[in-house]
Amino acid sequence: MYERATEDKKTKEGDDENEKKPSIKKYSDLQRLKLEKLMKNYDKAIVIPERPKEKNMSHVPEFIRNVMGSSAGAGSGEFHVYRHLRRKEYARQKFIQQKSEKEILDEAYKRKLEENARLAEERTAKKRAKRLKKKEKQKARGKKLNIKNEPMNESEQSECEDDQDKEKLQGSNDNHGVNQECEKT
C-alpha cells in the first residue's frame, strides 16, 4: 500500500513536469490564456458582470446647518460623533463634486456627438449635391444625344440630301461641318 502511494506521487509529479505553467510576460499572454481557458469549456455559460450601480446620495441634504467644529466637545465622549459627521460631510462634498464633473463630461460628450452628426450631415449633403449635379449632367448629355439621334422631319431630310448632292458636285469638303448632322442620320 505504501508503494502504491509513492507511485501515485510519481505520476502526479510527472504530470506536473509535462504541464509547465506558461510564462506570462505580456498582457496579451494573459488574455490568450484566458481565451484558451474559455474555449476548453465552450459549453459552459459565461457570466458577464453588470456595471456597478451609481451611489444614490440624493437623501443627503445640500446644506448642513449645524456642523460641529473640531474643538466642540473635545475631550468628551462626543469626538466619535464629530469624526462621523466630518466623514459624512467629506463624502457629501466628494459626491457633489463628482456629480458636477460627470454632468460637465456628459454635456461635452453630447456636444461632441452633435458636432460629429452635423459634420457628417454636411459631408453627405455635399456628396448628395455632387451626385445630383453629375446625374443632371448625364441627363443633359443624354438629351443632346437623343436630339441628334431623333429622326428628322421631311424638310430637314430634303435639305441634308440637297447639301450632300451639292457637295458631291463641287467635290470639296468646305461644308463638312455643316453636314455632320445629315451624315450621322
**What is the CA 168 to chain-centroid distance, rounded?**
71
Tell me the percentage of the chain whose pLDDT exceeds 70. 57
**pLDDT at residue 31 greater than cutoff 80:** yes
Helices (H), 150-184: 154-170, 180-184
CA distance linking residue 173 with residue 158, whole number of Å: 19
127: pLDDT confidence band, cut at 50, 70 and 90?
A: very high
Q: What is the pLDDT of residues 6-16, one digit of tens each?
A: 555 555 555 55
Domain ranges of the chain: 78-151
Q: What is the pTM of this model?
A: 0.40
Report pLDDT for 157.
60
Closest CA to 184 of 148, 153, 141: 148
Give the CB-side neighbour count of residue 95, counting CA atoms within 13 A.
Answer: 15
Residue 120: band (very low, low, confident or very high) from pLDDT cuts 50, 70, 90: very high
